[in-house]
Structure 1
């Protein structure tokens, strides 16, 4: 899907999304699946939190579909997923060959769902109703599987791995033991606090938040608070970026700008020069506009010293 097609898909989602269409969106608009795949894998809690409405509705619709297609789902004992390892709403195939013929597939998951006790907290369902009519089974994000076996197989000239999985019931003793060790009463008593804790442990997420706050303070001409937040952005960025990384250039530039707005010209000049030094010593093609802006800022600041 090219850039224009992705934008059209996002625009269509914004205009036409309805809660009862959530599974249709999940299976027919790839950008939703890609975002959910990424944020769960990278633990971008702030973005996942924004998609809470979608995850909630998908879970509700899976519970509804499971009840409606209960007789059909009980006739299915095995489903297949041909893909790289992901943990999201997983759409899997009843037909083994459909899973094996997916592009760029290195692993074939064979999932045993026979005699599985349904759990509404971890629903799965056959995607058959008025909006979605597919021979696919969709599992929720919180579904847990047990690895039964791993083996190499061939499909023509292609070598791949076959992984046999068993859907784990909620009352599984081993699962209950593992979950019990991670659950605490305070998580349920104050979930917002634990969301804050999760975000605080991720400097990249904090940089995004501090940048946004600093921009708001700058817009409101509160340069002292803006400067404090931009300095925090710099501190956090240096915890995961090299000291000569190009991403530091705009940070030094806005810090210099906030010092300039407070008539702290020596500090402004110091930060402008750090930015221009990084820009000039980096081997990547120089951003002409940024370089010109920085040289102009340095020239104006020197005149005021």
Structure 2
């Protein structure tokens, strides 16, 4: 994650029972072999032929991500194979026609992690896949599948680690005994490496090039370098520890010992040089967890939980949350996104001989400077900064991602459109509306050249352009853009699809800004009607609809109706969202604004302070939304005649906005005016 993260690894060990996979009865007989990694890739296509040039290139691309690919041309044989998988996660590529046939029979399979539909007609297949959560996307090119698969593979490895929820259970005790035994063994390293390499070749489950590299270069790099690299070591070791596979653990014993010793050595060095100066500090780990394990964890609250492997963490909470935990929450119906917050007491660790180390300078950096994977990493980091409100940093990351993609990809590649879109979004957040409009326009041009005329991504681009035009006060143009998005969605979506509700909501927003409140109410009501049909009764989008209708009534001066709707919105959020969710800040802010309009300043102040409290917990200290909270409180104190307090909050707002926003942003102009007026009264 770059310089902003501190990664730590704590040494641990584990035990195992041997694992087997069901033999396949696909087109050609396949010998039974040991699976050495956490995942399998299955490809179902009636026409697949590995000797055909049309399939050779896609297979080569995929094997750079997952070395072993099991292919099927028959639906029943594929289902039989999937039914026999127990200990691994399955990623599946399926042709569009066969996908419609097989997915209803397999989507409930807990081992099936992700489905990628590979077809010629994207728009037709996107219609039926929208209701299948495990379908990650519909693709007409193999490269985006490879990128999605790479990310899903990394998240799979991260989630499939061994965790004990009881400090005295057999796994925990056996793990400690095995770890001590492995670390005490003194064997011939050269012989152990040779036997390990021969074993990997025999299984046929690992890319031969990676095995050759490990055999040739093992001594040239550190154990941490190998463990953090994009090879098979991380996945193979953690799978063995998760399944207590003693056979593989013993074969990797030399590596476990070397890695543990390397961590201990670096730990002593970093302690002696005061690299880690704090006695007490926090680290974070975001990952997915099965619902079953999540329920176990809840039942053992207050007990001891142990990770039976070498554990990687980060000192950056937002990176762990946004890049790992939050995506895991949407991975499927059987997955829960978890953010582990761990407090490390360095003194206690020293007494118990637990080693941890910052591996930033020792992990692997194998990607060339213009590799597409590096572009994805910059893009992910940019997304984290964007969510934190650190827009300049986000923009820098997105621009670096774009530079790499321009060199590595063709000019009309969808990833370029994604980069243009992300840059436009940050510029919009910064108030650089003209620039944002330019970048959104570039994204739209790429999509027009590569996608069908009614592709959902085009609707999203028209919507993004509408947002900017709305912010610029060009309401007629914004309305036109929103209506174009709605037209596309009407063609590709059923009449009660939530995307249509989003379009009506945006149209209502423009009408509200134009002062055409009855039209705004009509559009918001259509959005609400769809959401009532399509969503459960306490869905957050319903709270948004009630909130927006409340905004219109407030603007119409009907404060009692506005207040009732805001409170209805708040009640849904209390049921549907965690207590520190940012939507609560919006609710408290809006209720406060109504009370301010009603001249009930003490009530307004109370709700504005609740807004600020939630925002301070959920946002970075210089997020522009904090500036809004400070400014609102300042306005109330201004109305109450408490000018010194008002000035203090106005100045706090200005301080935040000077850091977060460009100097010409309207917010800065407003707060400067407030400060100037208040100083005249003091």
Task: Report the TM-score, using the length of structure 2 for normalisation.
Answer: 0.22
| Larger Rg belongs to | 2
Q: Higher strand proportion, which one?
A: 1
Q: Higher helix proportion, which one?
A: 2
